[in-house]
Amino acid sequence: EAAPDTTSFGAAISACEKASQWEVSLHLFAVLVTGKLKPNAITFGAAISACEKSWVWDKALQLFNAMAQNIVEHTTMSYNAAISACEKVGAWEVALQLFSDMAENGVETSVISFNAVISAFDSG
């Protein structure tokens, strides 16, 4: 019998994101973190995206900030999900700060990054 690993947790968290089940996604993430496995950029990104897609921006930002505490590098995907979460609630100041942080930290921006921060201005 195969034991769950970080990849299987990432797949499960991603499936929860697609099904708009952010609470289950966070539960799975908590099980991952409290177990012997280490979260990675993919599991963090999937959990952040699950919160973003369900308009739970405060949890998305908590997860985003927890990446540094867990020594996991932020990725374009994690920044985009966090910026999009801010955009959904009109938190343009936070979205703009995150976008600025991308450049400062050498994380590549994308069309999604630009569109999300521009949309945040429209929403705010």
Q: pLDDT tens digits for 41-95? A: 999 999 999 998 888 899 999 999 999 888 899 999 999 999 999 998 889 999 9
What SS3 state is found at 72? coil
Cα Rg of the chain, angstroms: 14
pTM of the full predicted structure? Answer: 0.88
Residues 6+ apart with CB under 8 A from 51: 22, 25, 26, 57, 59, 60, 63, 85
Under 8 Å between Cβ of 39 and 7: no
